[in-house]
Amino acid sequence: MIQVYPAESRYAMDLGWLRSRPSFSFGAYYDPDNTSFGVMRVCNDDVVAAGRGFGPHPHSDMEIVTIVLSGAIKHEDNLGNVAVTSAGQIQRMTAGSGMIHAEYNASETEELELLQLWFMPSERGLAPSYETSSYDPKRMNNTLLPVVSRQGSDRAAAIHQDMTIYLSRLEKDRQIIFQQEEGRRVFLFVIEGRLTVDGTPLGTRDTARIEALSKMTIAADEEAFFMLIDLP
């Protein structure tokens, strides 16, 4: 089953310094029928104004992944971590037993565009931790490039959950066949372009939640940049 959520159907929030389109209930937006997808709890499509951001705030028992699409984000936390993450990089935070952090647009002149993703961890009360990782954008051309996985690697962040986040840039008229074990889920987010997934069309910023489909064909109707998450 492929359930499509068109970009224009998502809740839109504009605070001036922050423009956000959450895929799930978040903050002022609450829909009791749209609070999660498996272990996935948040997918926020955010644009943050130059020099602005989120002041210190707490988290616990959540795996938080930030994918920077353009610009750079500055992170600070109570563990002493200070880092700037740019496009081509991923940041992962395990909130675990409790963590306080702040996030800001690192630029005073340019907007920051990002996807922030939250996942429930495989176990509660983990030791808090933070890391950044880098990937080569060329390696995602016409393939699925893992950028976050349970095992992690020298080019992928590790996450405390049985899942993998892939990025791909697919040329027009090219296709990818994705297979996973029976009983798993896929969350797909079209960052740019247009795709067809097993006959179902998806446009820019559309998302799809896919269940009971262990094999699927992803075809580019035009050049497309997308994220695919393999979930339990």
- The 10s digit of each residue's pLDDT in 121-169 is 999 999 999 999 999 999 999 999 999 999 998 889 999 999 999 999 9
Q: Please give the helix or strand (H or E) that residue 4 lies within, else none.
A: strand 2-5
**Two structure tokens written together for 190:** 């079209």
Q: Contact 208/23 with Cβ under 8 angstroms?
A: no
Separation of alpha carbons 22 and 16, rounded Å = 16
φ, ψ of residue 138 in degrees (nearest 5): -65, -25
Other residues' Cβ atoms within 10 Å of the Cβ of residue 99: 22
Measured CA to CA, the distance from residue 229 to residue 232 in angstroms comes to 10
pLDDT one-digit tens code per residue, 6-57: 999 999 999 999 999 999 999 999 999 999 999 999 999 999 999 999 999 9
How many percent of the chain have pLDDT more than 90?
99
